[in-house]
Structure 1
Amino acid sequence: MRIVVLDNDRSQADVICQVLTSAGHICHGFQTAKDLLGHLRKDNYDMLILDWQVADMSGAEVVRRAREKMPEQAPVLFLTTASGEDDIVAGLAAGCDDYMIKPLRRSELVARVQALLRRAYPTQNGAEQLQFGQYVFETRPGRLLMDGAVLDVTHKEFYLALLFFRNIGRPLSRAYIHEAVWIRETAIPSRTMDTHVSRVRNKLQLKPENGFRLVPVYSYGYRLEKLGA
């Protein structure tokens, strides 16, 4: 999953990102609320971790404005000090999902994050079969069916299609798609992604008569639309 971290202390943000990257997540850190919110307008994240006492904006305002740009179910974990009882009350009142007391313990951080993500995205954690209308994704063998028939898709086409269906109606940036599907490939030609998207569109027959449309988002990426929703 993609996680964004806000902390005035760059070294703290870097440590959090290192820990979560080692746990299999994609993590980006920011030191100001302005930079974070500006980035959220351009890219997609599944979870927010923030220091409640950032310098340029109140924690409550950061949460409110970040939630406008993130998935509705995206969990928020906030960090405070042992003496920050008022912060804890304010953070939970602002709609945060959990909190941790600094200094952070690495194993606890990973456990808290995993628990919040499991709760927020239950179908993405250990599910063997996911269904979206006439499409069924069997995640263990990596098999895709349409109306009961197995589709001939490659490994990357399978996970690219699943990424779109898990984010129906949500624009996905090219950077997000690259990190989610081409995880270990630091650079791929732009045409490679476009070709894979075109193959997914054709093999899954993502066209209006089947209730879905996979469209480019100008200068950004792609979005899968469910028609009539």
Structure 2
Amino acid sequence: MYTAVLEDDTDQLDLIRLWLGQGGHQAKGFSTGSEFIAGISRERFDLLIIDWMLPDTSGDAVIRWAREHLGWEVPIVVLTARDDEQTVLTALKSGADDYLVKPARPAEMLARIEALSRRYGIGGAPVLHLGPYEIDIQRVRIALDGMSIELTQKEFDLAVYLFQSPGKLLSRDHLLNRIWGLNADVDTRTVDTHVSRLRKKLRLDGSNGWKVFPVYGYGYRFERIGAEG
């Protein structure tokens, strides 16, 4: 699993990254909330580990941002030095899936991560089959009726996100931030261009069980049509 770790104590951060590496995970560390948000805006992570007490913001604020901008597809674990009931409840209500009380223990951390990966289906089925579409995230490949479709990296990222968000109203700004990042030097017309290309390349017109619907003045909704998939 590719994990983003937010921890302001550099020694603790290095230790957590070491434990994750020993458990077969790749990790990227951040020491401030602003760096972390910028990082998860640019890259796609399988898991977020967030310290509760931070120098420039709070853990619950970072979690709320992640849920608002990344959705609920990525699991979040909170690290906290406080184990009182109110802190735990606040973390879970903010959108965390689980929590670890400091000092964290490596075996427990890896066990909880393994449990979350099973719950979210991470690593269990790298190839998704959705009707005639086959999505191989590891190989960055989408096939339609067995034929690979040539896509750019951003087209692939956008297509995967659409297939992971069926029925949701997705604003242009949300898609722009989610796929290109908050600091990208592009505007919402880029989203429209990429959606139009995907509609043609992947034939997302309803004829293959999936359709992109424009939502006037807002963005898009991606829907499964009929019983395909």
Pick aligned residue for 1:210 from 203, 212, 228: 203
The aligned amino acid for 2:94 is A
Query: Is the partner of 1:99 in helix, strand or coil?
Result: strand
Q: 1:138 to 1:101 in 2, by over 3 A?
A: closer
The aligned amino acid for 1:76 is I
The aligned amino acid for 2:109 is L
Q: Distance in 1 between matches of 2:74 and 2:136?
A: 24
Q: 1:93 to 1:135 in 2, by over 3 A?
A: closer
Tell me the residue number matched to 1:189: none
Q: Distance in 2 between matches of 1:93 and 1:33?
A: 19
Query: Is the partner of 1:68 in helix, strand or coil?
Result: helix
8 Å contact kept, 1:6–1:29: yes
Query: Is the partner of 2:74 in helix, strand or coil?
Result: coil
Tell me the residue number matched to 2:44: 44
Offset at residue 58 of structure 1 (A): 1.9
Offset at residue 69 of structure 1 (A): 3.0
1:18 is aligned to 2:13: no
Tell me the residue number matched to 1:59: 59
- Number of equivalent positions: 179
Q: Distance in 1 between matches of 2:65 and 2:83?
A: 26
- Residue-by-residue CA offset, 1:40-63 (whole Å, 9 max, x unaligned): 232222321111111221221111
The aligned amino acid for 2:51 is D
Q: 1:32 to 1:138 in 2, by over 3 A?
A: closer
1:135 is aligned to 2:128: no
The aligned amino acid for 2:129 is Q
User: Which structure 1 residue ranges, 5 or more long, are not aligned?
Assistant: 174-204, 213-224
Offset at residue 137 of structure 1 (A): 6.2
Structure 1 segment 86-125 matched on structure 2, within 5 A: 86-120=86-120, 122=121, 124-125=122-123
Q: 1:4 to 1:163 in 2, by over 3 A?
A: same
- Residue-by-residue CA offset, 1:165-205 (whole Å, 9 max, x unaligned): 644477657xxxxxxxxxxxxxxxxxxxxxxxxxxxxxxx9
User: Which structure 2 residue ranges, 5 or more long, are not aligned?
Assistant: 164-174, 181-197, 214-221, 223-229
Q: Distance in 2 between matches of 1:111 and 1:162?
A: 32
Q: Distance in 2 between matches of 1:24 and 1:168?
A: 29
8 Å contact kept, 1:168–1:226: no
- Residue-by-residue CA offset, 1:61-115 (whole Å, 9 max, x unaligned): 1111122332422111111225544321221222211111111111111111121
Taking structure 1 as the reference length, the TM-score comes to 0.61
8 Å contact kept, 1:78–1:100: yes
Q: Distance in 1 between matches of 2:114 and 2:72?
A: 18
8 Å contact kept, 1:145–1:151: yes
The sequence identity of aligned pairs, in percent, is: 31
Offset at residue 151 of structure 1 (A): 5.0
Which deviates the most, 56-65 or 124-133? 124-133
Tell me the residue number matched to 2:78: 78
Q: 1:165 to 1:114 in 2, by over 3 A?
A: farther
Q: 1:152 to 1:166 in 2, by over 3 A?
A: closer
Q: Distance in 1 between matches of 2:136 and 2:2?
A: 22
